[in-house]
Structure 1
């Protein structure tokens, strides 16, 4: 598995097991620890973040789930942000508030207006190019949808790839929710040689991503490649965020 740089200056640290205990651990446990150590861990929380799906659902071409599940694991384990849910949980919360307004909830439920935490940033994953071993339309199906977003650069990247060579180029962008300023945009890359698929992906996918459920990422080769590409992009992203304000709300212009 490819080793990603996790020396993130003063911003992030990487957890590691003491050397005295390393010799007593099984090879499987060591593999799991190695995988976990690749997720950067921040010294301070940078604010709240909501994960936003890209307009083009490229993952359906590979029978995968939304990459939101991958990023949720990264965000939760890195402790770089507090994750706020803007998906189905928000819809369920709106239903509870509607019940409260109709007087259907028990007294003292304390559900109402003014309780939802604001998202300081939006984190959006996307794909630049990807290949699988299908030998046919994997790359064309995806690039046909996202080519308009990236222009001629995508075509150039795609032209340099072998359709039988599993690899993925992905992007992560983080946008200030108040000012819409894109604070950072990073690209991540991974290839087939970065994963040991014959061993089930090692402890990283069995342990770290075992709880993701569904989606196909942890038990398909192209899924594992995409996960590592996003890990590469996330590690780079975190290393670029040292200049973010400690209080994003206070740093933004006053709302009117």
Structure 2
């Protein structure tokens, strides 16, 4: 009982301190965090909630790859035999839409930070960590024009590890002249430089990315995936857009979205019309055979 109260108190205190640190940096230009050592490899998965399409923008995959590379905080997965350390999904839209999409992962991430004892050390160890983590405590207000969210899942377990959001009404990044080379280069990787919404979304993803890095303690504490075993059965192909779930039930939690044509490797486990399978990144979950070819 006392332990639960202590954790709850620490979580509330950390959220309060970090949330109040955020407004002080509100008018300062956002900067991408830098890391001396990579936290691990990441595989990027398109979310079914592709909110960027409402602004006639494409997938932010290349933008996120550039953020990982430029910061040195993550290594883009090379598609080899080793599974990715982390699975990252991006969402975009209004603040309310993004907050709803990352709510569960955000709660899991906050709990992991408190348990790891990292909540008080992040302010000292990560540039802009306080402002980034403040977003995890809740993003109030309804004047958002563009919002972005990133969630990190452990491919080995399907467990959410961290979540970060970024909200931008007026970009602080410089996209013009020699001083805007970095921001312009980021935006151009995904074709975002040509519109106001694209430039704002670029900054929103930078903020969300910084937030993930600030939760490095929770990320590195997660068990790593082992190399995928040789397939015991033939590969399966997804026939329609569907979802990989945490258990053999249509109401179970979502591990990741699956697009038609995605190749899965069955593990040999079966429960009724559901089979357990892995994707090429080593992400494991359950899918209905009715959604497979």
* TM-score category of the 2 structures, normalised to the smaller one: 0.5 to 0.7
Which structure has greater strand proportion?
2
- Structure 1 residue aligned with 2:70: 77
User: Which of 168, 178, 181 is the aligned partner of 1:190?
Assistant: 168
Ranked by relative contact order (alpha carbons within 8 Å, sequence separation 6 or more), the top structure is 1
- Structure 2 residue aligned with 1:116: 81
Q: TM-score, normalised by structure 1?
A: 0.53
Helix, strand or coil at the partner of 1:41 = coil
The whole-number CA distance in structure 2 between the counterparts of 1:248 and 1:167 is: 37
Structure number with larger C-alpha Rg:
1
Q: CA shift at 1:56, angstroms?
A: 2.3
Q: CA shift at 1:75, angstroms?
A: 0.6
Aligned pair count reads 167
Change in Cα spacing, 1:170 to 1:197, as seen in structure 2 (3 Å) is: same
- Structure 1 residue aligned with 2:213: 238
The whole-number CA distance in structure 1 between the counterparts of 2:41 and 2:172 is: 31
- Structure 2 residue aligned with 1:249: 224
Indicate conservation of the 8 Å contact 2:43/2:87, yes or no. Answer: yes
The whole-number CA distance in structure 2 between the counterparts of 1:123 and 1:38 is: 21
Indicate conservation of the 8 Å contact 2:147/2:204, yes or no. Answer: yes
Unmatched tracts of structure 2, length 5 or more? 1-27, 104-138, 230-266, 268-293
Deviations 1:18-74, CA, capped at 9 Å, x for gaps: xxxxxxxxxxxxxxxx98x82211122211110111112222221111011211110
The whole-number CA distance in structure 2 between the counterparts of 1:208 and 1:227 is: 7
- Structure 2 residue aligned with 1:65: 58
Q: CA shift at 1:201, angstroms?
A: 9.1
Q: TM-score, normalised by structure 2?
A: 0.47
Change in Cα spacing, 1:63 to 1:201, as seen in structure 2 (3 Å) is: farther
The whole-number CA distance in structure 2 between the counterparts of 1:197 and 1:81 is: 25
Change in Cα spacing, 1:84 to 1:199, as seen in structure 2 (3 Å) is: same
Change in Cα spacing, 1:222 to 1:177, as seen in structure 2 (3 Å) is: same
Helix, strand or coil at the partner of 2:158 = coil
The whole-number CA distance in structure 1 between the counterparts of 2:212 and 2:101 is: 20
Q: CA shift at 1:216, angstroms?
A: 3.2
Change in Cα spacing, 1:217 to 1:160, as seen in structure 2 (3 Å) is: same
RMSD of the TM alignment (CA)? 3.8
- Structure 2 residue aligned with 1:49: 42
The whole-number CA distance in structure 1 between the counterparts of 2:187 and 2:33 is: 15
Indicate conservation of the 8 Å contact 1:200/1:219, yes or no. Answer: no
Change in Cα spacing, 1:201 to 1:128, as seen in structure 2 (3 Å) is: farther
User: 43-52 vs 200-209, which deviates more?
Assistant: 200-209
Q: CA shift at 1:202, angstroms?
A: 2.7
User: Which of 157, 182, 197 is the aligned partner of 1:179?
Assistant: 157
- Structure 2 residue aligned with 1:169: 147
Indicate conservation of the 8 Å contact 1:122/1:177, yes or no. Answer: yes
The whole-number CA distance in structure 2 between the counterparts of 1:197 and 1:42 is: 24
